Amino acid sequence: MNGSTIEHMMQQLNATTDLAERRRTAKEIIEEITTPEMVSKAVALAKNSLEDALKDRQTGELGTYLDVNDPEQVVALIEIVHQCLEAGGDLSGFITPVARLHHLDRKESAKTDTELYLQYRAAALLDALLAAEVPFPDEAVQLILAAGKRYVKDKATEQYICSIHWRLAESGVNISGAIPSLVTIFKNGETSELVHYSLLALWAAVRQGYFDTRIPDSDQSYQVWLKHLISNSTYKLKKKEEPHQLGIIGCLIETVRTYPEYKALAAEYLEQCKIREPKRPTTDFQHDLKQYFDLCRE
């Protein structure tokens, strides 16, 4: 396939309203994104197509789009762009538009299945861009942080959003506004992946000191959520086969080291949950748990 052929196929993808034809065309384009020349051509064509698809679309109070004219078309374009990223393409021009798509500014219950899937694909691409250490413009970061306080219906999308917040926190972005949502997601534990990524984001927030941030229009800081983080984490350690026990105990150790004033409370929760101190630790978890007991006694 040459540049003119892929251009023709992109025109077909944008013009058709037949779902099967659009999916087939997108798949054919993706399969041909193998050389640097084709990557560059596909990136340029997808950027122009996405700009046309989003032209004159209104944004809500979050700054994200309220809706798009043809969600299926935008999904196909995002899938093509994602393949371009994996092939080494420069996607810096896509970050802010995709951030405006990862949470359409309407109630989840009012969105179609295609719109929910669009949000999923957009969140997956944002997470992949962060994983690839592509620098995010401040505008895109602010859009993500604003949407991070909103309810997300699809759990796979929510998983990516937790991962996005973790990656942002590790890079030095203050994610304190998302702490209440992340604690709730961690507590509910609806999927193992949600527990994993919400825990990573909260652990990073502890390490970076984001719990010290003042809550807007309040005289309190997000430290009020530390009690919930400690209690929920300790409760999960009651499970004999807790798959995330190493991460949980690591986060707890980091928490009481960073906020020693919570050691007495942490010790209380250990007693309430009837978690026993290992006398002769053999596993990594048992060694960490004993260290946690020692810290709580200091």
pLDDT tens digits, 171-183:
999 999 999 999 9
The confidence score (pLDDT) of residue 2 equals 55
CA 264 to CA 259: how far, in whole Å? 11
Contact status, residue 235 vs residue 227, Cβ threshold 8 Å: no
The confidence score (pLDDT) of residue 240 equals 81
How far, in whole angstroms, is CA 259 from its chain's centroid?
26
Identify the segments of the chain with pLDDT beneath 70.
1-3
Closest by Cα among 191, 172, 78 to 128: 78
The confidence score (pLDDT) of residue 143 equals 97
The confidence score (pLDDT) of residue 241 equals 84
The confidence score (pLDDT) of residue 1 equals 53
The confidence score (pLDDT) of residue 298 equals 84
Closest by Cα among 111, 113, 95, 107 to 43: 95
CA 140 to CA 138: how far, in whole Å? 5
By CB atoms closer than 10 A (0-12, 13-18, 19+), residue 138 is exposed
What's the predicted TM-score (pTM) here? 0.94
Contact status, residue 120 vs residue 160, Cβ threshold 8 Å: yes
Contact status, residue 129 vs residue 171, Cβ threshold 8 Å: no
Q: How many CB atoms lie within 10 A of CB 244?
A: 20
The confidence score (pLDDT) of residue 5 equals 86
CA 33 to CA 77: how far, in whole Å? 13
CA 235 to CA 269: how far, in whole Å? 8
pLDDT tens digits, 247-273:
999 999 999 999 999 999 999 999 999
